[in-house]
Structure 1
Amino acid sequence: MMSEAIVQPVGILRPRARLVHTLGSDLISNERIALIELVKNSYDADASHVVIEFSGSFENGEGSIAVWDNGHGMSLETVKNVWSEIATPFRRETHFSESAQRRVLGEKGIGRLAASRIGTLTEIVTARADFDEVVVLVDWDQFQQDIYLDEVEFSITERSPLAFGPNGKAVDILGPHFNGHGVGVQMTRLTRSWDEEEIRQLRLSLSRLAEPLPAGDLEDEVVQDFAISLSLPDRLSHLAGSIAPSDAVSHPHYSISGSVDPEGRAELTYKELLSGESSEVTTEISMASIDGTERRTPMCGPIKVDIRAWDLDKDAFEATKGQINMSAGNLKDYRAEIKEHSGVALFRDRFRVQPFGDATFDWLNLDARRVNNPTTRLSNNQISGFVFIKADENPELKDRSHREGLIDTQEYEDLQKVILSVIQELEVRRRKSRKARNAGSKVTKGASSGGLFQGFSLSKLEALSISRAHDAELQQAVKETQVSVETGIRNVKATLSRFSRLATLGSVVDIVLHEGRGAVARIKAGAFQLEGAVKLSQDEVVAARTRRNAPRISAGAEILTSLFRRIEPLSGRRRGRPSKVELKAIVDGACDLLVPEFERLNIRLSKRVAASSVTVDEGEIIQVLVNLLDNATYWLTHVEKDQRQIIVDADRDSDGHVVISVSDSGPGVPEDLRDDIFDPYFSTKPNGTGLGLAIAGSTVLDFYDGSLALVESEELPGATFQMTLRKRVGG
């Protein structure tokens, strides 16, 4: 006889009330964010005006803060069935507001917990048009008691309009914006004290909550359908009143704005305040594929951008103060305000996503990026940027649960890269403008100029000494200083040469490791087989395995020997005397280091090298060639795989000079950047330092009286760099 199955009771999770208190503390990090959450609730309720009222003492456990709006309000049914349901799916299912059809900002259904972060007692008064008024009273202290969540009680009462009646408090608070309906959320027994600085920071955060004022002239009226005001006691009246975006950032020294579509096509406008220059910028923004072999379109977009930047030195503000109607006495305060409003803010459906745009939140790592390239890159406190997205068009850019920041996804990473690409477009143009203003002499177009040390000159000091020929002490001091500076430059050049070789070796370290590991694996496998045979003590087995594995061990050893030979010229040892070497050996040495990368990226390499001996430091020339080949490799990933080609030519010209050129089929160098690519710290790579070509050009000039130039090629459509060595290259 079969026994009857025993039916187990269904388990039910029963949360304690303190869970809600924990959620409120963990998901809303501070009281300022909590107030912003309540303001966003008002926006979702189609309010056109919100007033935040501080009353009484601002000390912990005392006073009150209230948020009043003129939105459509809530009925008794909505309070019971929607507001009372924590994590309600109502907003997730209702994406647009009731009447204004705004894209709602809240979807998680936990924004109401913001009130618990501000005060321990909350009274909500709400009224819909032609409905009675509803009053909700919640004591948040209950949520810290040892009771279950379903044992928490709060009162809900319905009454004739009182607060929202003709003579009610809502009329006093909202003034001309009163329309007979809305919500008032009053939080008493404050959970923390508020001082004047914290209220000033709240005002600053609120001023950056809505869309910014446009750059340039502010005579055109800016239409705002959502306004925020602060109501404060008399002692803080200077912080009270309407809150509007600051006009401090409306007159940037440089700006770039426009849109980037989902395919990465950017249509931008660049402007300068001082020169009045305005130009259109069209570019394609792409990302590296996961394996780095191709480019792909961004996984975010469309995006609108408005990036504004300043030179923070005193001279820059002095030069533009007339155009911004700024007196000299106010310049210091103005510069401080610029820094206070610095950062790149992210707006989704017209509201700022916290904490993007806070001066201390460098989410694009602009400061770290500037460390490697201080002359071109902008720091976070030099930029006030605004990025606009829409939730429906960028559904994978999602908030973190604590309402600050976005979840780390590929879409978020792509968004960062797109914005950095736009900022880089501004940086390149800003640098050209500053360079033109500070230009002393014209340089050869598309060619390396005086090297890294061209700025070191004692000409002014020498001229002064000539004008004071009678001053023997000055004459001697100038001579000693000149010797000291020249010696120091020579030492720095030698040190830089060694470091540059190590940097070049570092750039191919992944290739070296990959090949080295393969060779070591062959040797280890062969040795393992032989070791096993020896343990068997059988001559026949040992002989058989030796015949089978000896070639494997030899091949691995040969690979390591070849690898060591290829990287040896790039060792960090002190430079020695130039030695005679075949031109082909130099070209092969540089190309061999990158052959695995060429194969991975499907790059066809052609070498045309004349039979000639040269007397050079092999490592120096290999270092320059690897730099040129590495640059070509990077830019070739921007074209289709079947179009990738590199040609290396090496020969002597009619004067006996050594001429080596590297040509590629990449996108080439834009005409307007050809004057800049050899300048130290100039780079069009997203994370480039801008030192590769500068160091290469300096090496060729300083040690070989040569030149490194960008020239035209009749064979390939990309870039062609030509290195000419004039001295110390005898055969």
Structure 2
Amino acid sequence: MSENVYRIRPAGRHLLTIGRDLIQDSYAAIVELVKNAYDADSESVEIHFKATEKPSENISGNPEKRIEITVRDYGHGMSQDTVINKWMVPSTPDKLERRTSPDGRIMQGRKGIGRYAASMLGSTLLLETVSKDLEKTTVLVNWHDFETSKYLDDVEILVETHLTDEHSGTTLTIEGGEEYYKEWNEKQFNDLNFELKKLISPMQNLMDKAVDQKDKEFDIYLKISGFEGIEDIEETITPYPIFDLFDYKISGKIHANGKGTLTYAVQKARNTVEEVISFNLGDPTGCGDLIFDIRVYDRDKESIEQLIHRGLKDDNGNYVGKLQARKILDKSNGIGVYRNGFRIRPLGDPEFDWLKLNEQRVQNPSLKIGSNQVIGYVLIESEEKSDLIEKSARDGLRNNNAYQQLQKITNKVIKELEIRRFSFRRKAGLSKPALKVEKELNRILSFDNLKQTVHKKLIAGGMNEKSAEEVIELISKEEEEKSQTVEEIRQAIATYQGQATLGKIMNVVLHEGRRPLNYFRNEVPRIDRFIRKYKETNDFEHIETIESIAHNTVSNAKTFSDLFLRLDPLAMGKRPAKRQLSIENEISNCFAIFRQQMEDKGIKFEINGDAIIEAWQQDIAAIFTNLIENSIFWLSEKNTDIKEIMVNIITNENSLSYIDFRDTGPGIEPNLIEDNLIFEPQFSTKPGGTGIGLAIAGEAADRNGLKLTALESTTGAYFRLSTKGDENE
């Protein structure tokens, strides 16, 4: 070797770094050892935490508390050669290269470091492994040796091998002193139990149908004994029973090409029928095949009671109380991501809201679900097929494009459930109905039933007709006074709705105004500079430059002025009276607001026909601004080949009959049209949508004696604005 060539030598504590320092916590360390048992084709793994004592060597004479952790499997074990050349080699690519176990299981370990997680749990590790050839190999590792050795290869480890008649398998015995004993208390053991319950999905591993079901069986046994103040435990780990007691469920498979089938089910009512949903992302997933099973639980008092009655029981078979039911939901909620049957932590932990469900629910609580309402499973393919890469520290998936796609697609699947849940709860009267302002104001105004009832009561009570009419007249006067107040409220609400619509399209306002504003900022200051140059040189070219800037300033000022003129109906503070309007002109002004945005996205529009109607200009602007804004969003979101918005104004003897508004976007699901959900306040199928746009448009139509409805269409969204009585034309 050349005297200028050197080799990198890992320090002695390198093993502790990749084990103790990289692994997230003690639970993750246990999970790594469980996965190794699975990779060994064992049908089960036994985990035993045992508290022991050792006579004290200090002056107090109190015995030292110690811990012994045993992890035993009954798999194929390891030969001496495997122990020396693979188990004792950090970051070995053995499992990565093999990918599957001898019995066909897909390997959980890929990094070659999981076994060193044992250094988190104790100070020594005893490995006892028996191969299929009945060769027993024993290795004793003292982690302190690695702390004190300068280089990794300075540590000497004794390996002993002999023949035996014992059953094949591997036993790891981890021992530690008081500092390791203190790491485990009742809460820690409860948390470990929780982690193990969520480790294995109750769903079958549908990603690999070539594997026989018997090969997939894998049981986890947990035993805890001898710990002070903690009851001894010996149990088989099973998932929480709450999984099958859902209120709503959506499940199914989406293939790598972005197409798939989902099934929606409800358990809150009897005789409900499952709904099959065709899913088409429009593009490949970017993260391989995906299998979903997402279950949602309502958390109001009545729903919790229903959950218990469906069969939520404790470990002793007794029905739990409402408080305990809520605690189980609090502990077991979350949408986990599973690969080859095992969860990737921390995805699915209650406090790790990787899909931002709570953030979305704050914006729209009636429609959106929170993370504490959902228990779900997403099964993903191997890293080679999905590009979903686990972090070396076992703390989730790398935040690459595939992971972002996984988040996006999972949220789209959840949205399919949210839409149907919203509809079910509205129909079943399980949610507080949204306040529809125009309808409620009309109800407040109606005194007819009251007057009829009072009149009958008075006559029946012996009052003469004249006196009864005088009483009714008093009610009529009160009705008239109230009508004036209600009308003032109606006008104020109309103003607020117009301003809310303006707020919704503020991004358009900024986009349209940015170009002239930038011109003013950059070009107008140049005028002073060229004036000074002209004074210094008397060169007429400087005057021509000033003239050009001034001309363009006028042009950009007109752009600003036109923009504010088009926005004025939405922004006005005081609401003027109704007036005669050219409907074609008003719709054209609404399209003009979005002119630049539509040009940038390649969206064309056409308006056919015209009619004069008497209406509030602000309301007509609110109707069509919201319709156009929706169409632009969906035409851009789905990236359709033909991007057009068509408006046809139909008249009958020179009077408006109806206006058809259509686009070439993805359209509206028939069930949403049938349920009339799209006009419900707070309902929206847009990501992050507030659900106020179409609700405002519908109420603006009502105020003007018009009716806005959605019609079924196979070629895009289809709305009709009709005069009352002509809506079914």
Q: CA deviation at 1:31?
A: 0.4
TM-score in terms of structure 1 length? 0.81
Q: CA deviation at 1:193?
A: 1.9
1:148 lines up with 2:147 in the alignment: no
Whole-angstrom distance in 1 between the partners of 2:153 and 2:119:
18
Whole-angstrom distance in 2 between the partners of 1:495 and 1:380:
36
Alpha-carbon spacing, 1:487–1:316, altered in 2? closer, same or farther (3 Å): farther
Correspondence for 1:271: 265
Whole-angstrom distance in 2 between the partners of 1:356 and 1:500:
37
* One-letter identity of the residue aligned with 1:506: M
1:721 lines up with 2:719 in the alignment: yes
> SS at 2:501's partner residue?
helix
Matching residue within 390, 407, 417 for 1:416: 407
> SS at 1:689's partner residue?
coil
Q: CA deviation at 1:50?
A: 0.7
Whole-angstrom distance in 1 between the partners of 2:5 and 2:572:
72
Correspondence for 1:73: 77
Task: Give a deviation string over 1:322-361, Cα, whole Å, max 9, x none.
Answer: 5438787644433432332111111111111111221222
Task: Give a deviation string over 1:641-699, Cα, whole Å, max 9, x none.
Answer: 54221112457666956855422122322221112111122222233222211122223
Q: CA deviation at 1:388?
A: 1.0
> SS at 2:37's partner residue?
helix
Correspondence for 1:292: none
Correspondence for 1:315: 302
Correspondence for 2:471: none
* One-letter identity of the residue aligned with 2:18: L
> SS at 2:187's partner residue?
helix
Contact kept in structure 2, 1:451 and 1:697, CA below 8 Å: no
Task: Give a deviation string over 1:356-405, Cα, whole Å, max 9, x none.
Answer: 22122211111111112211221111111111122066331011222111
1:503 lines up with 2:491 in the alignment: no
Unaligned 5+ segments in structure 2 are 54-62, 205-212, 462-474, 725-729
User: Percent of counterpart pairs with the same letter?
Assistant: 29
Whole-angstrom distance in 1 between the partners of 2:527 and 2:615:
42
TM-score in terms of structure 2 length? 0.81
Q: CA deviation at 1:312?
A: 1.8
Correspondence for 2:170: 182
> SS at 2:199's partner residue?
coil
Correspondence for 2:537: 537
The within-5 A match list for 1:601-616 is 601-610=601-610, 612=612, 614=614, 616=616
Correspondence for 2:45: 50
Matching residue within 138, 160, 170 for 2:141: 138
Contact kept in structure 2, 1:601 and 1:641, CA below 8 Å: no
Whole-angstrom distance in 1 between the partners of 2:457 and 2:83:
90
Contact kept in structure 2, 1:122 and 1:188, CA below 8 Å: no
> SS at 2:555's partner residue?
helix
Correspondence for 2:469: none
Correspondence for 2:689: 688
Correspondence for 2:198: 208
Whole-angstrom distance in 1 between the partners of 2:252 and 2:309:
27
Contact kept in structure 1, 2:333 and 2:372, CA below 8 Å: yes
Contact kept in structure 2, 1:662 and 1:722, CA below 8 Å: yes
* One-letter identity of the residue aligned with 2:183: S
Contact kept in structure 2, 1:256 and 1:307, CA below 8 Å: yes
Whole-angstrom distance in 2 between the partners of 1:398 and 1:275:
43
Correspondence for 1:405: 396
* One-letter identity of the residue aligned with 1:36: V
Whole-angstrom distance in 2 between the partners of 1:564 and 1:8:
78
Alpha-carbon spacing, 1:442–1:43, altered in 2? closer, same or farther (3 Å): closer
> SS at 1:71's partner residue?
coil
Matching residue within 84, 88, 91 for 1:84: 88
Q: CA deviation at 1:244?
A: 1.6
> SS at 1:232's partner residue?
strand
Contact kept in structure 2, 1:285 and 1:421, CA below 8 Å: no
> SS at 1:255's partner residue?
strand
Aligned residues: 672
> SS at 1:405's partner residue?
coil
Alpha-carbon spacing, 1:60–1:17, altered in 2? closer, same or farther (3 Å): farther
Q: CA deviation at 1:127?
A: 1.9
Correspondence for 1:176: none
Alpha-carbon spacing, 1:331–1:44, altered in 2? closer, same or farther (3 Å): same
Task: Give a deviation string over 1:520-554, Cα, whole Å, max 9, x none.
Answer: 47745964883684475232332343455444333
Correspondence for 2:464: none
Contact kept in structure 1, 2:121 and 2:174, CA below 8 Å: no
Task: Give a deviation string over 1:127-168, Cα, whole Å, max 9, x none.
Answer: 21224322222222334447233333333333454xxx65xx
Correspondence for 1:228: 220
Contact kept in structure 1, 2:125 and 2:172, CA below 8 Å: no
Whole-angstrom distance in 1 between the partners of 2:186 and 2:443:
51
Correspondence for 2:387: 396
Contact kept in structure 2, 1:200 and 1:239, CA below 8 Å: no
The within-5 A match list for 1:96-495 is 96-97=100-101, 99-145=102-148, 147-161=150-164, 166=166, 179-189=167-177, 191=180, 192-212=182-202, 225-233=217-225, 239-273=233-267, 274-286=269-281, 296-319=283-306, 322-324=309-311, 330-391=321-382, 394-438=385-429, 493=493
* One-letter identity of the residue aligned with 1:310: Y
Deviates further, 627-636 or 271-280: 271-280
Q: CA deviation at 1:601?
A: 2.4
Contact kept in structure 2, 1:249 and 1:341, CA below 8 Å: no
Correspondence for 2:466: none
Unaligned 5+ segments in structure 1 are 1-6, 167-178, 215-221, 287-294, 471-475, 727-731
Whole-angstrom distance in 2 between the partners of 1:492 and 1:323:
49
* One-letter identity of the residue aligned with 1:151: D
The within-5 A match list for 1:554-633 is 554-571=554-571, 573=573, 575-577=575-577, 582-610=582-610, 612=612, 614=614, 616=616, 618-633=617-632
The within-5 A match list for 1:57-68 is 62-68=66-72
Contact kept in structure 1, 2:292 and 2:378, CA below 8 Å: yes
Whole-angstrom distance in 1 between the partners of 2:528 and 2:65:
75
Alpha-carbon spacing, 1:583–1:180, altered in 2? closer, same or farther (3 Å): closer
Alpha-carbon spacing, 1:614–1:233, altered in 2? closer, same or farther (3 Å): same
Alpha-carbon spacing, 1:255–1:683, altered in 2? closer, same or farther (3 Å): same
> SS at 2:695's partner residue?
helix
Correspondence for 1:668: 667
Contact kept in structure 2, 1:54 and 1:66, CA below 8 Å: yes
Alpha-carbon spacing, 1:452–1:41, altered in 2? closer, same or farther (3 Å): farther
Alpha-carbon spacing, 1:483–1:552, altered in 2? closer, same or farther (3 Å): closer
* One-letter identity of the residue aligned with 1:270: Y
Q: CA deviation at 1:253?
A: 1.6
> SS at 1:555's partner residue?
helix
* One-letter identity of the residue aligned with 2:96: R
Whole-angstrom distance in 2 between the partners of 1:154 and 1:457:
87
Q: CA deviation at 1:571?
A: 3.1
* One-letter identity of the residue aligned with 2:74: N
Whole-angstrom distance in 2 between the partners of 1:459 and 1:564:
39
Alpha-carbon spacing, 1:275–1:452, altered in 2? closer, same or farther (3 Å): farther
Task: Give a deviation string over 1:460-517, Cα, whole Å, max 9, x none.
Answer: 9x99x989999xxxxx9xx99x999969965972574254134233242453255445
Deviates further, 662-671 or 493-502: 493-502
Deviates further, 579-588 or 379-388: 579-588
Whole-angstrom distance in 2 between the partners of 1:575 and 1:408:
51
